[in-house]
Amino acid sequence: MTRIEATKVLASTFQTLSESDQNQFMSICNTLLQVNYIVNRQSDYGVYDFINQHVEAFQAYFLLSGFKLMINPEHRLAAIVNEEGMNRMKLKKFETVIILALRMLYHRKMGKISLASQVEIDVRELHEEIARVGYAPEDNRVTKTELLPTLALFRRYNLINYIARDFNDDSRLIIYPSIAIAVGYESIIEANDRFLSLSKGGDIDDNEEIDENQDDQLDVL
Instruction: Out of 81, 113, 135, pick the residue that ends a domain.
Output: 81
Q: Does 93 lie in the same domain as 76?
A: no
User: Based on the domain organization, do 69 and 102 belong to the same domain?
Assistant: no
Q: When comparing pLDDT for 115 and 67, which is higher?
A: 67
- CATH number of the domain that residue 108 is part of: 1.10.10
Q: What is the pTM of this model?
A: 0.79
**End-to-end Cα separation, the chain, in angstroms:** 21
Quick check: is 218 in a domain?
Answer: no
- Lowest-confidence region among 181-185, 193-197, 209-213: 209-213
From 51, 66, 81, the end of a domain falls on: 81
Considering only residues 45 and 217, tell me which one the structure prediction assigns the higher pLDDT.
Answer: 45
In a domain, 176, yes or no: yes
Structural domain contains residue 199: yes
Q: Are residues 105 and 143 in the same domain?
A: yes
Q: Domain check: are 111 and 32 in the same one? A: no
Same domain membership, residue 163 and residue 100: yes
The secondary structure of 3-52 as a DSSP string is: HHHHHHHHHHHHHHS-HHHHHHHHHHHHHHHHHSEE-SSGGGTTHHHHHH
Rg (CA), the chain: 19
| pLDDT recorded at residue 131 | 85
**Rounded average pLDDT over 18-38:** 93
Whether residue 171 sits in one domain with residue 126 = yes
Same domain, 114 and 205: yes
Residue 220 counted as domain residue:
no
In the predicted model, is pLDDT for residue 202 greater than 90?
no
Average pLDDT over residues 46-66: 93
Indicate if 75 and 108 belong to the same structural domain: no
Q: Is residue 221 part of a domain?
A: no
**pLDDT band, very low/low/confident/very high, at 217 (cuts 50, 70, 90):** very low
Average pLDDT of the chain is: 80
Residue 109: count of CB within 10 angstroms of its CB: 16
Shared-domain flag, residues 117 and 179: yes
Last residue of a domain, one of 81, 113, 137: 81
Pair (92, 76) in one structural domain: no
Domain annotation covers residue 144 = yes
161 touches 173 (CB < 8 A): yes
Domain coverage including residue 30: 3-81
**Shared-domain flag, residues 49 and 107:** no
- When divided into structural domains, the chain yields a total of 2
Q: Do 74 and 93 reside in the same domain of the chain?
A: no
